[in-house]
Amino acid sequence: DIQMTQSPSTLSASVGDRVTITCRASQSISSYLAWYQQKPGKAPKLLISKASSLESGVPSRFSGSGSGTEFTLTISSLQPDDFATYYCQQYYSYSTFGPGTKVDIK
């Protein structure tokens, strides 16, 4: 099984901050990595696929990078709508989600 970790588990930030979340895989997953945003009571929303490909309609302040075992999601300037939990997901071999990173208000 491929295990996914995320850091930090919680991140306190202010509007306008640059935020970076790290996701690591237990073995190489090439670029088969997706990032999701989830708000309470809602389904996850796909932000990025293939590690760095921004989904249509997702604001350009979101970006993804990385390959192999280490990946990052960056929000260049945090907006009020961005306070949520973020998950990474590998889909290289079956699929696994990371444990999530909650971004809350500082």
For other proteins, the binding residue among 16, 43, 60, 81 (CB under 8 A) is 43
User: Binding to other proteins by residue 92, rule CB under 8 A?
Assistant: no
Q: Is 31 in the site for other proteins (CB under 8 A)?
A: no
SS (H, E, C) 36-93: EEECCCCCCEEEEECCCEECCCCCCCEEEEEECCEEEEEECCCCHHHCCEEEEEECCC
Q: Is 22 in the site for other proteins (CB under 8 A)?
A: no
What's the CA gap between 89 and 72, in Å, rounded? 12
With respect to other proteins, which residue has the nearer C-beta, 17 or 46?
46
Residue numbers of the site for other proteins (CB under 8 A)? 1, 34, 36, 38, 42-46, 49, 55, 87, 89, 91, 94-100
